[in-house]
Amino acid sequence: MLRNENLDVVSICTPNFLHAPMTIEAVDNNINILCEKPICVTNKQLIEVEKRLKNKRIIFFTSFQKRYISFLPLIKKIITNEIIGKLLLVDYHLSHYGPYKSWQAMSEEKWFFNSEKAGGGVLLDLGVHCVDLLRYLVGEYSEIKGIDFNTHCIDMKDEDTSSVLFKFHNDVTGIISVSWCLEPLEVLKLYGTKGIFNIDLRTKKIIYYRPLKLKKKPIFKKALSHKESRMNNQYELINHFITCVLNKKQEHPDFNDGRKAVEFVLKAYSLKK
């Protein structure tokens, strides 16, 4: 198809181990790419894809649709303007019932639980979303300080539950906890020297904050009253990607965003040994 058809874009949403080779083939045929996460499953693949993309005028998007939650720019302003003081700690929990329970399998082969095809467990599946959203809100991570991996509820080699403790370059501490064994939940907690607040990212609302006087701050008040866009975040990602293709302008989430998230997980995995 890539060789015989005059294609503008390709959306790569195959099992994880196929993302890199399919990306390389699309790049070699000068086709713009929207790639599902994780964009690669090894550092070797990341290096090879980056090398192929270099000097190519190709638009590459990583499918990080959580960036399109419409009130995130307000949350970023709250952090940047130190409305809760200097940010000290962020705690991100993301869980659901796991593959093939949270959604119906499209085939009999349950590749999510195959190490060679998935490349990892829940941290590679859900953790990359957490890393990307926190990179957008807080900044670059610097080092991973501690990890915990467990297999509680799924008969698989890799982890179905994981927590990672890490640091950002601006000295903020980060905690990511992900699981395929718990009730569906997605909560981001932010702790600053002058206040704290929690966000339910499923309902897109601030669900707790202290002190109460935070609501007097214009940006915080706006975030409290914000009504989320009705458009599906994945559709907004696709619309943005298409706009960038038409305008021949690369924007985020790009290859580097996908790479940084995968590198985080692979570094965490290396600490298991």
Candidates 24, 273, 272, 269; CA nearest to 125 is: 269
pLDDT of residue 255: 98
- Confidence class of residue 103 from pLDDT cuts 50, 70 and 90? confident
- Confidence class of residue 107 from pLDDT cuts 50, 70 and 90? confident
What pTM does this model have? 0.96
169-188 mean pLDDT: 97
- Confidence class of residue 273 from pLDDT cuts 50, 70 and 90? low
Task: Identify which has the larger pLDDT, 273 or 8.
Answer: 8
DSSP 11: E
pLDDT tens-digit series, residues 216-260: 999 999 999 999 888 899 999 999 999 999 999 999 999 999 999
For 207, half-sphere exposure in the C-beta direction (CA atoms, 13 angstrom radius) is 11
Q: Which residues of 180-209 are buried (b: 16+ CB within 10 A; e: fewer)?
A: bbbeeebbbbbbbeebbbbbebeebebeeb
What are 13's two structure tokens? 């949403």
Cα distance between residue 75 and residue 66, in whole Å = 13
User: Does the pLDDT of residue 14 top 90, yes or no?
Assistant: yes
pLDDT of residue 109: 81
pLDDT of residue 48: 98
Candidates 121, 109, 261; CA nearest to 181 is: 121
Residues 62, 250, 226, 90, CA torsion sign: positive
pLDDT tens-digit series, residues 49-86: 999 999 899 999 999 999 999 999 999 999 999 999 99
What are 250's two structure tokens? 């690369």
Quick one: what percent of the chain has pLDDT higher than 90?
A: 92
User: Does the pLDDT of residue 108 top 80, yes or no?
Assistant: no
Q: Which residues of 144-161 are buried (b: 16+ CB within 10 A; e: fewer)?
A: beebebebeebebebbbb
pLDDT of residue 37: 98
CB 154 within 8 A of CB 181: yes
Name the average pLDDT for the chain. 96
pLDDT tens-digit series, residues 112-141: 999 999 999 999 999 999 999 999 999 999
Cα distance between residue 230 and residue 168, in whole Å = 33
Strand order of the sheet with strand 87-95? Answer: 141-150, 161-168, 173-179, 87-95, 185-192, 195-200, 205-210
Domains and their CATH numbers in the chain: 9-65+235-253 (3.40.50.720), 71-228 (3.30.360.10)
CB 143 within 8 A of CB 106: no
18-32 mean pLDDT: 97
User: Does the pLDDT of residue 20 top 90, yes or no?
Assistant: yes
- Residue with structure tokens 């214009």? 218
Backbone region of residue 86 per phi and psi (left: phi > 0; alpha: psi in -120 to 50; beta: other values): beta
Q: Which amino acid is located at 138 in the chain?
A: V
User: How do 205-210 and 173-179 pair as beta strands?
Assistant: unpaired
> If residue 206 lies in a helix (H) or strand (E), which one and from where to where?
strand 205-210
SS (H, E, C) 105-164: CCCCCCHHHCHHHHCCCHHHHHHHHHHHHHHHHCCCEEEEEEEEEECCCCCCCCCCEEEE
